[in-house]
């Protein structure tokens, strides 16, 4: 269950409308709903989001994806794409649940912060105060387990399901096997992702609250936010109306994914829900409506190591910047499901993406959509002109009134045809962004980056003071 992000392209939000039938999760009730499909975005932005999702799904070979987009701090769009079940074929709908894997960790972290607000524990308490018998449990703190700086060894770094994990296990057994070994490093000297940390955190929540983790989350988070679809997939597998998980061996066909044995995911990755409901949680992160302001500050602040090195991680969330924007995010993976949740916290934008295949495309969709939603209306004049020329060349035409004599000569009939034949099939870019500007040779140089799923291109231009273009070149980016 390796959830640390791999390289991907952008940010997206997925929301779900129709919620499946009621189920019991421990004592927390996940009730049915009939949310209407959400769509308050303009048609052009919806088309761009749909294009991103469909292209990434096709490129990655993902059976289906469900997305939810938050804009202006409010849920603005939900959509589902592809097939949630392959045989017999069933199309995905926004009401279907998917496992969210390690996106669950931010809910466990929030539960700890709620208990701190209640005066029942402190982030700086030693974990051994609540869970006895752990290696150096009198030194390792709750803050360190929530930030992956504890040194406890990860019990599930693999990206596949091992045979022993198909049988039931308990949280205590996990700790007996992995949290009683010598630490991998001295606390606060390294950052290392470890699911074991959050098993400890979940047991602390249960010990201090006197409730099952799911019941505590239901009482303080899920029910107040109206997250009706939440399901404990560690206890009971998803039902037939929900998305079906798939895996692939090498480049082989998609096959049904095996199910983890009961108890293995617990507080590290137990939750399943619709993208719609995950977006309701994102709304609360933006509005800071569940926790106190000081708790959100704790959660969203990058934890530093003893030597001052940043970890890009807060408490249960990754803390990074996307094109200069502060992003609170996390990906998730359990067998047959991959998710990505991105919140551009200062832009009131969020994107939740849930998929039913371990192909890694959720992060691509999420990042690209978030950037598209947050970046709407901010395109520079240079970007507008360059994108317009690029689109024209894709169609085999060029406005020669924009060209200086040298560039006019460069764009011969054959050159224009080559641009058309090579760029036209790529379709509309996912993103088209200026990355640099400088003066050179009496002209203004601009560099732009174009992103397609699995492909990046650069556009470079030189412009004279009178506005005429001396260069317009398109090249692949390594």
Confidence of residue 254 (pLDDT cuts 50, 70, 90): very high
Q: What is the pLDDT of residue 428?
A: 85
**pLDDT over threshold 90, residue 48:** no
Separation between Cα atoms, residue 123 and residue 107, nearest integer Å: 15
Residue 73 burial by Cβ neighbours in a 10 Å radius (0-12, 13-18, 19+): middle
Return mean pLDDT, the chain. 90
Q: What is the pLDDT of residue 50?
A: 93
Closest CA to 274 of 26, 74, 37: 37
Helix, strand, coil shares, percent, the chain, to 5: 35, 25, 40
Check whether 194 has a pLDDT greater than 60. yes
Give yes or no for residue 84 having a pLDDT over 90. yes
- What does the H/E/C string look like for 124-152? CCEHHHCCCCCCCCCCCEHHHHHCCCCCC
pLDDT at 27 over 60: no
- pLDDT tens digits along 422-474: 999 998 887 888 999 999 999 999 999 998 877 889 999 999 999 999 999 99
Distances (CA, A) of 158 to 161, 317, 327, 360, 427: 8, 20, 26, 15, 37
pLDDT given at position 151: 97
Across 98-107, 313-322, 380-389, 426-435, least confident range: 426-435
Q: What is the pLDDT of residue 133?
A: 97
Whether residue 21 has pLDDT greater than 60: no
Burial profile 278-308: b = 16 or more Cβ within 10 angstroms, e = fewer: bbbbbbbbbeeebbeeebbebbbeebeeeee
Backbone angles phi, psi at 57, to 5 degrees: -60, -45
Q: What is the pLDDT of residue 10?
A: 33
Residue 378 above 70 pLDDT?
Answer: no
User: Mean of the pLDDT values across residues 93-111?
Assistant: 97
pLDDT surpassing 50 at residue 23: no
Give me the pLDDT at residue 431, please: 81
Position 323 confidence tier, pLDDT thresholds 50, 70, 90: confident
Residue 30 clears pLDDT 70, i.e. is over it: no
Say what the pLDDT of residue 1 is.
Answer: 58
> Is the N-terminal amide bond of 240 cis, ω within 30° of 0?
no
Q: Which residues pair with 350 in a beta bridge?
A: 70, 343
* pLDDT number for residue 58: 87
């Amino acid at each position: 269950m390796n959830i640390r992000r791999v390289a991907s392209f952008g940010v997206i939000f997925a929301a779900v409308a129709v919620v499946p039938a009621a189920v019991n999760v421990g004592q927390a009730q996940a009730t049915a709903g009939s949310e209407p499909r959400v769509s308050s975005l303009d048609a052009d932005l919806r088309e761009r989001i749909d294009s991103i999702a469909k292209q990434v799904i096709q490129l990655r070979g993902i059976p289906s994806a469900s997305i939810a987009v938050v804009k202006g701090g409010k849920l603005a769009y939900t959509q589902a794409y592809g097939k949630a079940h392959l045989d017999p074929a069933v199309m995905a709908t926004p009401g279907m649940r998917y496992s969210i894997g390690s996106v669950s960790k931010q809910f466990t972290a929030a539960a700890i912060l709620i208990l701190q607000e209640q005066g029942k524990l402190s982030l700086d308490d030693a974990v051994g105060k609540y869970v006895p018998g752990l290696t150096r449990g009198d030194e390792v703190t709750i803050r360190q387990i929530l930030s992956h700086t504890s040194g406890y060894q990860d019990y599930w770094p693999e990206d596949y399901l091992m045979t022993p994990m198909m049988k039931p296990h308990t949280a205590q057994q996990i700790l007996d096997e992995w949290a009683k070994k010598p630490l991998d490093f001295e606390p606060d000297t390294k950052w290392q992702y470890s699911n074991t940390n959050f098993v400890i955190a979940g047991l602390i929540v249960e010990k201090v609250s006197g409730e099952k983790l799911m019941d505590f989350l239901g009482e303080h988070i899920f029910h107040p936010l109206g997250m009706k679809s939440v399901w404990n997939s560690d206890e009971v597998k998803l039902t037939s109306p929900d998305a079906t998980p798939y895996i692939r061996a090498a480049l082989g066909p998609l096959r049904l994914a095996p199910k983890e044995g009961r108890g293995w995911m617990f507080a590290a990755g137990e939750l399943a829900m619709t993208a719609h409901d995950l977006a309701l949680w994102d709304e609360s992160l933006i509005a800071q409506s569940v926790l106190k302001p000081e708790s959100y500050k704790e959660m969203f602040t990058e934890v530093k190591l003893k030597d001052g090195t940043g970890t890009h991680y807060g408490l249960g969330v990754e803390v990074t910047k996307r094109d200069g924007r502060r992003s609170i995010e996390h990906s998730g993976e359990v067998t047959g499901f991959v998710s990505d949740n991105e919140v551009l916290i200062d832009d009131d934008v969020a994107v939740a993406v849930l998929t039913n295949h371990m192909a890694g495309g959720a992060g691509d969709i999420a990042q690209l959509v978030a950037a598209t939603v947050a970046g709407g209306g901010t395109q520079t004049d240079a970007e507008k002109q360059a994108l317009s020329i690029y689109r024209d060349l894709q169609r085999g035409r060029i406005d020669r009134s924009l060209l200086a004599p040298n560039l006019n000569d460069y764009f011969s009939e054959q050159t224009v045809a080559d641009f058309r034949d090579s760029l036209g099939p790529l379709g509309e870019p996912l993103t088209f962004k200026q990355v640099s500007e400088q003066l050179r040779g009496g002209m203004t140089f601009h560099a732009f980056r174009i992103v397609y799923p699995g492909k990046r291109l650069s556009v470079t231009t030189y412009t004279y003071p009178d506005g005429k273009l001396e260069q317009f070149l398109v090249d692949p980016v390594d």
